[in-house]
Amino acid sequence: MNLKSALSALLIGATASVGVAYAQTVALKVETDKPGAKIDRQLFGQFAEHLGRGVYEGVWVGPDSPIPNTRGIRNDVVAALKELRVPNVRWPGGCFADEYHWRNGIGPLKDRPATLNPNWGGVIEPNTFGTHEFMDFVQQIGAEAYISVNVGSGTPHEAADWFEYMTTAQPTALAKQRAANGHPEPYGISFMGIGNESWGCGGSMTPEEYAAQLRIYARYTRNYNADHPTLKIAVGPDSANTGYTEAVMKAWKERNWSWDINGLSLHYYTVGAGWPPKFAATGFGEQEYATLINYTLRMNELLATHGAIMDKYDPEKKIALVVDEWGAWLAPTPGSKEGFLEQQNSVRDAIIAALNINIFARHADRVRMANIAQMVNVLQAMILTDQDKLVLTPSYHVFHMYVPFQDATFLPVTFDAGAYANGDIKLPKVDAIAAKGKDGKTWLALTNIDPTAPAHFELTTRAKRAAGKILSAPKIDSVNTFAAPATVAPKSFEARSSGNKIALKLPPHSVAVIALED
């Protein structure tokens, strides 16, 4: 299926039903007179690692491929991502970044060396998708570049040379080499990640060891494009471990004029208990659903914990907390290649995506950037491909529905979240956030977490109409496939006021995003 067919499939289905308020209705009120922080559009970032079929086949097919492409980058994937208004893409990793040597990925394709990708399946890395191809890709989709430099197996010299190669306009040897490779003008690099998971696959460094490396890399890896500043992001905590947060923030507080950072990264996946990930992506029941939703909601506590440490050193919130790896990490699809991290994407993943975005929005004063893992064919992907076929996942649809929240102003919502229980697991039944969009409209995102019963809302408002999209599915493990791409697809959602109330009904395990209109 091509992109046109996939998008056309979204139109299948009737307008969602709107119910009337009755007992146990959730009363909603948007506090339009109490605007909060900006929900930075960078919160909706993506992640493209050289992992499995994420880059090769997912993005890059080569200029000679029969799959329609522009300079080797597949056109259907570009068109789908443009619809999401992707703000930034993190590349080349991930664990891959700390074994990536950028010079292997420049120059004529035929001359690039074949190397190994020991982190992800031990497969050959052809290096045909390198710096120029990545920059071409982000420009095609209208996104900004988030480059992760190699701290684990690289050197400050290598990282400094890479940024000179990419960003200087002066006629240095590296700038001339860039021009000879097809790009005379300097690139604009918006974000620089100084290493990746240095507590783990990026070098197994103690917090103090990493802080020492950070000072060096932050000092010598320079952006030379004054027209396009680069924000530097340090490696931060692994989930609840606070050691890196303390060490990096302390180093930043004690810094001198020679170096600085703008962000601290946090990685947290919805995995469930134990490692490796063992929760199935399909064929699961209500207990597995509730367990993973429960793990997802821990993101709120993590942001509060690390945010409090950051506040101690940075009460003015100059340093952003950047959640540059998040999402559901499930058991791989049976029969898929080892280390490729392929998994299906169900309506449960859509709810996980919505809940995470809602949590980020509530912490938008500190959390100003995030990157879901990952973009195509890997983990909680937006898009799945099979040769020339493409399917949009439920997570893609949530990101598409939430586009109006990009750079919107957070508005508090008062409501009783109620309760949904499965065994010993106690969860809220519903969730909701609101914002004043750049279009001037008030937007409301509603999630019915409960997989067993609909949710009835009653919104107190002066608006006359609520209209938008709702994403629901027949079952909690419903997925989109190449044969049935619209099993989980948005449908129109509309309700009109009665007095100063608008009644809304969401089916079980569903997400709605609506605008309030006069």
- Catalytic residues, by residue number, are 197, 325
Q: Which amino acid is at 217?
A: Y
Query: With contact defined as beta carbons under 8 Å apart, do 21 and 503 qualify?
Result: yes
Q: CA–CA separation, 198 vs 238, rounded Å?
A: 10
DSSP assignment of 185-210 equals SPPP--EEEE-S-TTTTTT---HHHH
Q: CA–CA separation, 63 vs 52, rounded Å?
A: 20
Query: With contact defined as beta carbons under 8 Å apart, do 472 and 413 qualify?
Result: no
Alpha-helix runs per DSSP H in 365-508: 394-401
Q: CA–CA separation, 412 vs 39, rounded Å?
A: 12
Query: With contact defined as beta carbons under 8 Å apart, do 277 and 271 qualify?
Result: yes
Is it true that the peptide bond before 454 is cis, omega within 30 degrees of 0?
A: no
Q: In this structure, are strands 501-506 and 455-460 parallel, antiparallel, or unpaired?
A: antiparallel
Tokens of 161: 């040379």
Tokens of 163: 């940024």
Which run of H or of E encompasses 316?
Answer: none
**Nearest CA to 249 among 148, 319, 325?**
319
Q: List % helix, strand, coil for the chain (3-state, nearest 5).
A: 30, 25, 45
Q: Looking at the chain, how many residues does it have?
A: 518
Indicate the Cα dihedral angle 173, 178, 179, 180, nearest 10°: 90
**112: Cβ–Cβ under 8 A, 6 or more apart, which residues?**
104, 105, 106, 126, 127, 128, 130
Other residues' Cβ atoms within 10 Å of the Cβ of residue 474: 11
Query: With contact defined as beta carbons under 8 Å apart, do 72 and 133 qualify?
Result: yes
CA distances from 511 to 186, 329, 471, 502 (A): 42, 21, 5, 17
Query: With contact defined as beta carbons under 8 Å apart, do 46 and 143 qualify?
Result: yes
DSSP assignment of 346-357 equals BHHHHHHHHHHH
Tokens of 262: 């703008």
Is it true that the peptide bond before 344 is cis, omega within 30 degrees of 0?
A: no
Question: Could you tell me if residue 474 is left (phi over 0), alpha (psi between -120 and 50 degrees) or otherwise beta?
Answer: alpha
